[in-house]
Chains A and B, each alone.
Chain A
Amino acid sequence: MSEGVLRDVASLVVRLAIERGATDAECTIAEGDEFSATVRLGEVETLKEAGSRAAGLRVLLGKRQGSSYTSDLTEDGVSQMVDAALAIARITEEDPFAGLPAPEELGQITVDLQLAAPDVAQVEAAARIDSAKRAEATALAADTRITNSEGASCETYSGCRVFANSRGFLGSYASTTASLSVTPVARQGEEMERDYWHSVSRSWAGLEAPEYVGQKAAERALRRLGARKIETCKATIVFEPRVAKSLLGHIFEAVSGESIYRKSSFLLDKLEQQIAAAAVTIVDDATIPGYFGTSPFDDEGVPSRRTVVIENGVLKNYLFNTYSARKLNAHTTGNAARGLTGAAGIGHGTLYLEAGSQTPEEIFAAVGTGLYVTELIGFGVNTVTGDYSRGAAGLWIEDGKPGYPVAEITVAGNLATMLQNIVHIGSDLEFRGSTCAPTIAIRDMTISGK
């Protein structure tokens, strides 16, 4: 369906809900087309092509709320969705804080945010296959020890999101994504190691060259060969950007208004306090044209904005949707996020740690001895207590340089202490997704090994 038709459907859903007795209503519609090609050992492995769309509705009956969704956007389908939301709202209880944003809070950014690139829709299937084949071929040719591959994948996505509510908001935007990745396998004797490189862009032209993607992936897999488990010790940990950004994800959870009103955050009651090293500034910005965290409005129809979360180590702001803001007598920061349905949760725009001045090489030299972490696995992070313990792999830093590979170890600490112990921040910030960080060094963490 065209964006215009989807806007009409969203408006109709809201109107139907009000006609049938809702006090307020909001409707989200998402539509998308996905195309993907995967290639393995030079041969096409899968081709996938499809489009889908679905709608979600939230209604309020006074201070009660109910939600529903459907993938059937026919007249009958949306009518049933409206009835379902109204029916289920009757079993919920009155929540004095439930409701839509105030009318004056609604709105959207009207400048072109460059979220949709015209070249994505024009990519032919053969071009996706060709990119994936070239990336994998480069990886396989990089070294005789690259003996196998889990394959390479090239995907494009074009989508559209529409939001309407009963306070007069109607907005929509299109977005596109292109991505290319390859996962080669390196072998040395009995040992096998894999790694990957992933390039993602709003436009097809913005993707890194397939040969670059293949070369990076091969280098990463190769440097893991010969991995050792090391002795349990305390050390400075240097997180490369790809893993450093996961720390921002944990901070996001801890500053989200939901965690704050539930008192389930290690950053509760810490506003205006020095919670991190003075060099740490973390910003959430959903307004930067072309970035992955950008949108003209949030999922409640509030304009996107820039919010400083931590400035020079001081906690400045929590991130709110309308509900959590009302619970805490604050105002929404335009951070409402939801799939299609239900009360909105909280999300972020482009959440990033501001770059420092040192190159990664300068950081290794300054650290002298420590662990350079290039992969983290597992879910051992508790943002209520700050307890942090994850599986890791990387390179041991000796004499100021990354040396032999290390695996089958964990790195552990507590997020509250880790934030204070950030001793170096790299200059190598790149915006590759919606959370972004440069290289970070944190002193005095525990490595658990032999």
Chain B
Amino acid sequence: MENIETNTRTQDTPAPVSFPSTAWFQALADLMNTDRDTHEHLGFIDCVAQFTVLDGGPDGGRVAYQVTFEEIAATDVREVTDGDSAGASFALEAGLATWREMIENIAAGDGRPDLEHTLNAMSHIGTPIALVADDPLERDCYFRFNQSLQTFVNASCQIVTVFERA
């Protein structure tokens, strides 16, 4: 385990959470659900977003997590076996190094990524993050709710993240 934390811990800061893991995405979901004012201002978000770490599994294989958004809450977080994207509106797929770069960049900006590390900037041309969806209408959910999704991942600055394979 690489013990590099994105936040400097003090006695008041929460315990580190590993990325990728269900616990990490659940922590993000919890942050969203306690920050209702921000998300209410942004509006309803209804979709299932999958975050796939292509080499994040214990053997260097795929590991994926689906987050279900309903209204202004993240209502469910689950790990998906073999990174299967069935049931997701769309999947964002990238290697661990890319996800780590994004999360560290958000933390360095205290919750705001720099110009090159927003979700859209990293996924627009398919690399380093690939946007994957079977149905173009479901893929468009990624765009319809983009600001909410960006705000969702921006909250990762409040998590003390350590990076290790699941």
A associates with B? no
